[in-house]
Amino acid sequence: MLSIDFIRQHPDIVREGLRRRCETQQIDEILRLAEQKRGIAARCDVLYSELKAEKEAVRTAGQRQRTGLNNRIKETSGAIRKLEGEMNEIDTHLQFLLLRLPNLPHQSVSAGGEERQDRELRRWGEPIPFYFEPQAHWDLGEHLHLIDVAGGVRIAGSRFVVMRGMGARLERALISFMLDVHTQEHGYTEILPPFLAKRSVMQGAGELPKFEDQAYLCNEDELYLNPTAEVPLVGLHSDTILPPDTLPLRYVSWTTAFRREAGSAARQNRGLLRLHQFNKVELFQIVAQEEDSYEAFEQMVRHAETILQRLELHYRVMELCAPNLPFASAKTIDLEVWMPWQQAYVEISSLSNCEAFQARRANIKYRPGSGSHAEYAHTLNGSGLAIGRTMAAVLETYQQADGSIIVPKVLRPYMGAAVLKP
């Protein structure tokens, strides 16, 4: 969430940030309501002073004077209640508008031009040459009895799958491999949070109200199914002031994620690329403002890249332009893995620096030193990696002419096998 004080003091910066995002929402109504609230607050202050003076006068007044003073106290109190009611209504409307404003792009983020093009930063590896016609990962998965699409449809409908046998083991191997690398080599603490979150937690992470139509809601309890582990990890420290020397906090979390994916691109709806339920390993950091959160951000990108490099999967690194930024992000880097059957790059990790945007919404603060004023922290998040998409890339990249799959070397200790055969 953007600070109302920042919006009031720097309206041109906010307007420019929204323009770069190609965001249609304006701040004129926010500024008008903020000014109206200030005016009412000033009137309340005057009435509070009058009320205080009237109450003091009653103590020393005679019997005849008290009746008149009590009437004035009643009138002043009534006027204050009316103004406070108006101020509460304005606050509600202001909160409604502020919650819908996206984060402002970092100054280094490009506008993207008319075509909203992202910028390629680098590539790692090369696409593996095939001397036969490569198959799609869903065909390979069904042929090897790793992926059961029909079973998923019977259980829950379209865009749900069942993982069978070595397919289920491969999914578990990828999760364990990623968690081991991030905890043992990159210094993250593993967290296994609840898979349900309160509305306030969803709102704090920036999922609500913007993405209400994408979330699964348990109406009776008003709990939301986790759309990404970023949400409960934000909630873990909501309404908290972290003591000095606590930061940075580094968390890695495996969760199952649930998304309705309303209106998603039809060309990526097959196989494991865009499911309603999928597993993901999430990287999350809370860092201090006075430290360079962008240095931590670059490090987090390298941590996610490490997984792709260990799996020997060709990928490219993309810096998103302002119009393509996620709602809560000030800067985002996407890792896109090469999919041989599609002959295209597919996003496998999206890493974002949200600066203080989520911390302000979730009220996550820290004290830089003993007795110092509490400040909002910066939050960073990113996939490290999406499991289904990683599996899809492994199946397509390591497929053989006979339909078998070579297991990447780093996964063999987890799989107990070097080859997946029909």
Would you give the distance in Å from CA 282 to the centre of its chain? 10
SS3 228: coil
List pLDDT tens digits, range 204-233.
999 999 999 999 999 999 999 999 999 999
> How much is the mean pLDDT over the chain?
94
| Contact predicate 408/398, CB 8 Å | yes
pLDDT in tens, 2-42: 999 999 999 999 999 999 999 988 999 999 999 999 999 99
The pTM score is 0.93
CA distance 227 to 206: 11
Provide the pLDDT for residue 126.
96
Q: Which residues contact 381 (CB under 8 A, 6 or more apart)?
A: 228, 230, 233, 282, 283, 284, 285, 351, 352, 354
What pLDDT shows up at residue 63?
67
% pLDDT > 70, the chain: 97
SS3 210: coil
* Structure confidence by residue, pLDDT tens digits, 232-267: 999 999 999 999 999 999 999 999 999 998 655 545
- Alpha helix stretches (DSSP H) within 164-276: 165-184, 199-205, 230-235
> What pLDDT band is residue 312 in, cutting at 50, 70 and 90?
very high
- Which of 1, 213, 212 lies closest to 103, judged by CA? 1
In Å, how far are 145, 307, 370, 398 from 167, measured between CA atoms? Answer: 7, 19, 52, 14
Q: Is the pLDDT of residue 390 over 80?
A: yes
Q: Kindly report, residue by residue over 126-151, the tens digit of the pLDDT.
A: 999 999 999 999 999 999 999 999 99
Q: In this structure, are residues 229 and 193 in contact, taking their beta carbons and an 8 Å threshold?
A: yes
* CA separation for the pair 124, 345 (Å, rounded): 12
58 — pLDDT class (breaks 50, 70, 90):
confident
pLDDT of residue 61 exceeding 70, the answer is: yes
Element housing 266 (H / E)? none
For residue 268, pLDDT over 80 is answered with no
